[in-house]
Amino acid sequence: MAEAAPCGSAAEARVRAWAAGHAARGRRVALVTSGGTRVALEARAVRFLENFSSGRRGAGSAERLVAAGYAVCFLHRARSAFPWARSLPQHGAALLDAFRLTPGDTPAVAADPAALPALLPALRDYHRATEEGVLLPIEFTALEEYLELLRAAARALAPFGSSVMFYLAAAVSDFYIPTSEMPEHKIQSSEGPLQITLKMVPKMLSPLVKEWAPEAFVISFKLETDPLILIDKSRQALEKYHHQVVVANILESRRTSVIIVTKDSQTPLSLSDEEIAQGMEIEEKIVNYLQGQHTLFIEKKV
Amino acid sequence: MAEAAPCGSAAEARVRAWAAGHAARGRRVALVTSGGTRVALEARAVRFLENFSSGRRGAGSAERLVAAGYAVCFLHRARSAFPWARSLPQHGAALLDAFRLTPGDTPAVAADPAALPALLPALRDYHRATEEGVLLPIEFTALEEYLELLRAAARALAPFGSSVMFYLAAAVSDFYIPTSEMPEHKIQSSEGPLQITLKMVPKMLSPLVKEWAPEAFVISFKLETDPLILIDKSRQALEKYHHQVVVANILESRRTSVIIVTKDSQTPLSLSDEEIAQGMEIEEKIVNYLQGQHTLFIEKKV
């Protein structure tokens, strides 16, 4: 694979020391993965294959998990949605318009008053989480980085057994081009139509559940566009990888409804029109439900 | 092509009215395109082909063109770099850390003092440009949107003849999948390795120069990874499309050096180590040079 991967062993040591501190104080730990991976089509890459993901599911869930008392390692695609920063203007004119030059002798800049109702609670929650050290953000961009960091984090968290939750919401590419089959230079358009052959990325759930962190509570996500195959694909994943939960969702309705699938249950969660009007997010229901499942999982183990 | 395109005629009317106001006051107009296009691989798309581009070249050039007296229509990829917002923290923890809760009875939020040296001049320039209406931002995401908006803007600007500069810095995909050949649903990884065949996107430079805005001053950009073919490819483009300038650059060195190629000249521009240390950007030299070329172009025409 093409892009340089970061040093996994440094990440492993960092995550383990952070988690040990929280575990010593009786806090549960969650690894949340979020955002899409990037796959290069050329060795000196100009073109990439991207999996669609804003990272909203992961970032919103990380906020809720912190509120529920978890320490969260947030393994996310660089520049994707970030906990508590989601509701702020992040780009272009909207970002510039959020700041105001304040009149007076000393030049200063204040937040636009219109932005305050969203900004104040977000900043307070973010600062509290930062002071308590309950959010450990780690970034990836390339698929290779994601794979190496996931393995490092999983190994780092394994010693904390069933109290660890893996919440695998990242949109990971199923396909990549091996470096040996990749063109060195930018593909030339003058050579006519482009034929690309992509190989399958090995599924990380298998070694994660079998080898890296066999005692942990593992949740994977399944996003499909065809509702007819969603539940079958989710059950197949549970049978194949032997983990605990699949959160199943359909592209068009993923912001308002999901189905929580376990070996012997199938629980739809959705927002009512009233809840949507109140600004409630589906991640609140997902995390509430999974926190309960995690408790049951820990108790059965003990 | 798969994604819905916006209404080009509304954009055309908007750009023409805006440009007419500036042209009446003797101001030159530039259309700057910036950022990469997105190409869907599925009808209900989860996977996309992306051209790499942060949009820094286009955003930095738009700032310089405004400073040089141009009114700039900034046709950019949503969430790519934006004039004057480039130096601000835009993501995640860095964005949250740029704001501070100010103590006192009334909750308020101020910018972090450490951010002020970059923030103050950027906000001043942005507010000045906004008041004068010299920046007209228009967003695209999908390749289809880009193509339709480029045509609309080109037609809108054609009446202003040689005083219009097209500064085509966007990274436009050379390839796409026709809707008729696209799978309806998410491609299933269980079906094995993935084979994709992409068709060529028609080059827009040809109708732009021949039909849409034949009197305008047109600059295209050529980004390659192989220095051996760069100048030849640039000359071929000038011969094929009959426009005025190609800004040629190599992926690795694009932030510090370019070659301005015209029918009968080849002018390297680069930053010295001292200029790099001072924080100077190559876009300043590119825009200075091209502004001069544009003046010569207008005078020869008159």
Identity of the residue numbered A88: L
Judge residue B190's burial from the number of C-beta atoms within 10 Å of its C-beta, 0-12 exposed, 13-18 middle, 19 or more buried. exposed
Q: What is the mean pLDDT of residues B15-23?
A: 97
pLDDT: which is higher, A120 or B188: A120
Burial A16-35 (b: 16+ CB within 10 A, else e): bebbeebbeeebbbbbbbbb
Substitution target in A80, A100, A188, A194 with the highest count of B β-carbons within 10 Å is A194
Helix, strand, coil percentages for chain A (3-state, nearest 5): 45, 25, 30
Beta-sheet strands, E only, within A154-297: 164-168, 175-176, 194-200, 217-224, 245-250, 257-262, 265-270
Q: Which of B108, B124, B193 sits opposite A110 (nearest CB)?
A: B108
Q: What is the mean pLDDT of residues A28-38?
A: 97
**pLDDT for position A43:** 78
Instruction: Quote the minimal CA–CA distance from B195 to chain A in Å.
Output: 5
What confidence category does residue A301 fall into, taking pLDDT thresholds of 50, 70 and 90?
low
Q: Which of B45, B108, B189 sits opposite A52 (nearest CB)?
A: B45
What confidence category does residue B5 fall into, taking pLDDT thresholds of 50, 70 and 90?
very low
**pLDDT for position B3:** 44
The secondary structure of A2-70 as a DSSP string is -SPPP-HHHHHHHHHHHHHHHHHTT--EEEEEESB-EEESSSS-SEEEEE---SHHHHHHHHHHHHTT-
- Is the CB of residue B110 less than 8 Å from the CB of residue B121? no
pLDDT > 70: what percent of chain B?
97
On average, the pLDDT of chain B sits at 90
pTM of the model: 0.89
Identity of the residue numbered B71: A
Domain covering B8-88+111-301 in this structure, CATH number: 3.40.50.10300
Look at strands A71-77 and A29-34 and give their pairing: parallel
**pLDDT for position B120:** 87
User: CB–CB of A123 and B109 under 8 A?
Assistant: yes
Residues β-bridged to residue B34: B76
Task: Please check the confidence at residue A290 and state whether its pLDDT lies above 60.
Answer: yes
Residue ranges of domains in chain B: 8-88+111-301
Residue A192, Ramachandran bin (φ over 0: left; ψ between -120 and 50: alpha; else beta): left
* B240 membership: H or E segment, kind and range: helix B227-241
The conformation of residue B60, written as its DSSP 8-state character, comes to H
Instruction: Quote the minimal CA–CA distance from B187 to chain A in Å.
Output: 9
Task: Please check the confidence at residue B29 and state whether its pLDDT lies above 50.
Answer: yes
Task: Give CA–CA dist A230/A222, Å, rounded.
Answer: 8
What confidence category does residue B301 fall into, taking pLDDT thresholds of 50, 70 and 90?
low
Lowest-confidence region among A207-211, B18-22, B91-95: B91-95
Q: Which of B76, B96, B225 sits opposite A186 (nearest CB)?
A: B225
Residues β-bridged to residue B169: none
What confidence category does residue B6 fall into, taking pLDDT thresholds of 50, 70 and 90?
low
User: CB–CB of B224 and A85 under 8 A?
Assistant: no
On average, the pLDDT of chain A sits at 90
What confidence category does residue A2 fall into, taking pLDDT thresholds of 50, 70 and 90?
very low
**ipTM metric:** 0.84
Residue linked to tokens 């932005």:
A115
> Which residues contact residue B132 at a Cβ distance below 8 angstroms, ignoring those fewer than 6 apart?
none
pLDDT one-digit tens code per residue, A57-102:
999 999 999 999 999 999 999 989 999 998 777 778 888 888 888 8
> Minimal Cα distance from B195: which residue of A?
A197
Q: What is the mean pLDDT of residues B162-175?
A: 95
pLDDT one-digit tens code per residue, B285-294:
999 999 999 9
**pLDDT for position A103:** 75
